[in-house]
Structure 1
Amino acid sequence: MAATVHVTPLNDLIEHDTNSEEPSCVCGPRTVPVEISGLFAWAYVHASLDGREFAEEDP
């Protein structure tokens, strides 16, 4: 069984399309495979339009 989840930035300049099973949002989300307790899921990671993720540091 596969599931799809969307990860979106809060308070962005646009409203992201999270109603689709495809990465069809204008921001061009990345598709990332995720496994949680044996469940395989696709995570669509949406980019912010203000570019804030480029200023963040990875832990």
Structure 2
Amino acid sequence: MAATMHVTPLNDLIDHDTDSEEPSCVCGPQAVPVGIGGLIAWAYVHASLDGREFAEEVP
């Protein structure tokens, strides 16, 4: 059994599609497997359309 979750940016230029079990949003979310207990959950990580993640500093 697998679970699905979505990680979306706040206050973006669009409303991201988080209602489906597939990564069907216009931003082209990246599917990332996450182990939780004995399950594998899929986290769909959505990109912002305003590009804010490119301006963030990575430690």
What TM-score does the superposition give when structure 1 sets the normalisation length? 0.91
Corresponding residue number in structure 2 for 1:21: 21
**Residues 1:6 and 2:3 aligned together:** no
1:43-54 pair list within 5 angstroms: 43-54=43-54
Further displaced range: 6-15 or 37-46: 37-46
Q: How many residues align?
A: 59
Displacement over 6 Å in runs of 4+:
none
Show structure 1 runs of 5+ residues with no match.
none
1:38: how far off? 2.1
Distance 1:9 1:40 in 2: 23
What TM-score does the superposition give when structure 2 sets the normalisation length? 0.91
Identical pairs, percent = 85
Q: Secondary structure at the match of 1:48?
A: coil
